[in-house]
Structure 1
């Protein structure tokens, strides 16, 4: 799971087993942030449409969770927040940038720590390329 800023640059990465539900990994991803201050809004998909998670993030971390409602949800959807949801493609672009490296696209490492190290190395390279675009890394 990854957290990206408005430019699609990585702010946090966290790995877990493939059988884990994504919204359960939210706290671990926020704790693994590379930056000192987290963004005030977190744009997610329908899987995060849970009132308990929204309240916990708002009270404990001051982060507003923006997620479209599920079909069976009873809460009222604010249309202004869904306009921000259209920018979620930047996170998907981050995953595409990371998957350009074969070592990340196909997990060859047996240990999760080694794979996380390669993902973090990929994030560092992306950040360095953004800071110095003319340098070839």
Structure 2
């Protein structure tokens, strides 16, 4: 029987250090990205497949002062929206359907979210990005960045 990488005595190592995890879709890696208005990536982060999107929101927005933050329903959290608005930016994040109080969202601005989606459809044309061949997370992130540069140069 084959096992995943063993953790060291101090808790380091193993699959979590290499951004690998199990989700409903199977074993894999999730790439989180923030991009500018032109669809160019500003920040790229790797996590295991089981990690939620909202857990990475603060890291994606750190050291950046956007005018507008456009995100999908996965980033709907009252504390995050308040933090975005306290920085002087506008939060264009639809409220989850199950909430009692629905927040109003500018639909025209929300349609601009497809810029990031189009970036990923172009980046996943590179096979090394679409299917993670690299064992180490640093190597995979490097290939994601190379694919991002190639998409920006097109």
Structure 2 residue 74 is the aligned partner of structure 1 residue 43: no
3-state SS of the aligned residue for 2:47?
coil
- Structure ranking higher on relative contact order (CA contacts 8 Å, 6+ apart): 1
Q: 2:120 aligns with which of 68, 90, 95?
A: 95
Q: Identify if the C-alpha distance between structure 1 residues 94 and 115 changes in structure 2 by more than 3 Å, giving closer, same or farther.
A: same
Structure 1: gaps spanning 5 or more residues: 130-137
Give yes or no for contact 1:8–1:94 (8 Å, CA) kept in 2: yes
The 5-angstrom pairing of residues 72-83 of structure 1 reads: 72-79=98-105, 81-83=106-108
Structure that is richer in helix per residue: 1
Equivalent residue, structure 2, for 1:105: 130
Q: Displacement, 1:5?
A: 2.2
Distance 1:30 1:127 in 2: 21
Structure 2 residue 81 is the aligned partner of structure 1 residue 54: yes
Deviates more, 1:88-97 or 1:3-12: 3-12
- Alignment coverage as a number of residue pairs: 123
Equivalent residue, structure 1, for 2:94: 68
TM-score (norm 1): 0.78
Deviates more, 1:61-70 or 1:92-101: 61-70
TM-score (norm 2): 0.70
Structure that is richer in strand per residue: 2
Give yes or no for contact 2:69–2:92 (8 Å, CA) kept in 1: yes
CA deviation string 1:74-113 (max 9, x = no partner)? 334325x222111211111111111010000000111111
Structure whose alpha-carbon radius of gyration is higher = 2
Q: Displacement, 1:56?
A: 2.0
